[in-house]
Amino acid sequence: MKYKIFSLIIVLVITGSFCFAQTSKVEIKEDFKPSVLNQPGKEYPMVNSQGYARFRIEAPEAQSVVVSLGLGGTRGGTPLTKNEDGVWMGTTAGPMDEGFHYYHVTIDGGVFNDPGALNYYGSVRWESGIEIPAHDQDFYALKNVPHGHVQQVIFPSPSTETSRRAFVYTPPGYDKNQSERYPVLYLQHGWGEDETAWMNQGRANLIMDNLIAEGKIDPFIIVNTYGMTNEIKFGGLRNFDITPFQTVLVDELIPYVDEHFHTIPDQAHRAMAGLSMGGMETKDITLNKPEVFSHYALLSGGVYAPEDLKDHANLKLVFISCGSKERPDGVKNAVVALKDAGYNAVSYVSEGTAHEFQTWRRSLYQLAPLLFKE
């Protein structure tokens, strides 16, 4: 037995060394360009065609500078090296997953944002953002097509004794025909994020604009609001109480949207979806309030079992997705079980991505054409 264990260790060490050696031989192409999410006029950070990212930080008195890439990034971050001019530079050890990533810079133990990059709210703070070019980025690109509007609304919330904020996407042509009514998708962000995430990081409005322009979907409204997720510390999700947010969403926001926008105010034309913790919220609320929504979507946010949905008579669609680097078998198996039980269920796996926004952008792109089909 000892010999077998020792042999296994030798094989693992050799295999690991071989893999590292193979990776280290990859030649990094020097075709770096500024990230599309840079501050105006800033050259760094940069990305290349292989998915590597390169950083430049001016901190001449610093002793240590490390870039910490967000979900999908290099484990342990990217240590930078100071040159003779006191400028710290470095390139990721390997290519990043395609799409959007959060990151920050740790300088001598202090956490800062990269002054060259735009900021996005994630990890319960405004983080720097970088965009790794994707092979399929056309579906969320800014194009010369008719565009909808994204507007901020402030709605009263008696249950929380304050006013709360939501962002509402209305499709192109919404204002031209006052008599036309639209279905609504209530789309939730993940832990550490807020109501800005889906339109900023997720580019949900551009995904919708492009799908509508291509005739792939019938127009509908999207509503994003803060899911009251960040009061609970990461790792303590089992203690999260859905009741306060459920009250805000069902009893306060939905009536406000139905009153102030041209909606079709019934269950058949109302959907709820969420990414990560927003998926957990979606599952809880749709199970607690089956009379409110008819389309459910969990994006890297768990699964439904057939017994969960036994009293959901008017359920039209269940959509479950994740990245291929997450738990795709669990998603696929859950949907097979739902289909076998007679539900209209669809699974989607984003190839080559993990728990990150490229997974969720692609998921929305796949979900949208399935919604509100008569």
- pLDDT, one tens digit per residue, over 66-107 is 998 833 344 579 999 999 999 999 999 889 999 999 999 999
Please list the residue range(s) of the chain that carry CATH number 2.60.40.10.
33-133
Mean of pLDDT values over 344-370? 98
User: Could you tell me which residues come within 8 angstroms of residue 247 by beta carbon, excluding any fewer than 6 positions away?
Assistant: 159
Distance of CA 184 to the CA centre of its chain: 19
Per the CB < 8 A criterion, the answer to whether 72 and 45 are in contact is: no
The two structure tokens encoding residue 100: 């959007």
| Better pLDDT: 114 or 2 | 114
pLDDT at 238: 78
Return d(Cα 46, Cα 241) in angstroms, integer.
41
- When pLDDT is cut at 50, 70 and 90, the band that residue 180 belongs to is very high
pTM, to two decimals? 0.90
Q: What percent of the chain has pLDDT over 70?
A: 91
pLDDT tops 90 at residue 250: yes
Distance of CA 157 to the CA centre of its chain: 26
Please list the residue range(s) of the chain that carry CATH number 3.40.50.1820.
138-370
User: Could you tell me which residues come within 8 angstroms of residue 275 by beta carbon, excluding any fewer than 6 positions away?
Assistant: 188, 189, 190, 299, 300, 301, 360, 363
Homologous superfamily of the 33-133 domain (CATH): Immunoglobulins (2.60.40.10)
Domain 138-370 annotated CATH 3.40.50.1820: yes
- When pLDDT is cut at 50, 70 and 90, the band that residue 230 belongs to is confident
Nearest Cα residue to 70 out of 45, 87, 50: 45
Nearest Cα residue to 297 out of 280, 314, 312, 311: 280
Distance of CA 262 to the CA centre of its chain: 27
Per the CB < 8 A criterion, the answer to whether 320 and 308 are in contact is: no
Return d(Cα 232, Cα 230) in angstroms, integer.
5
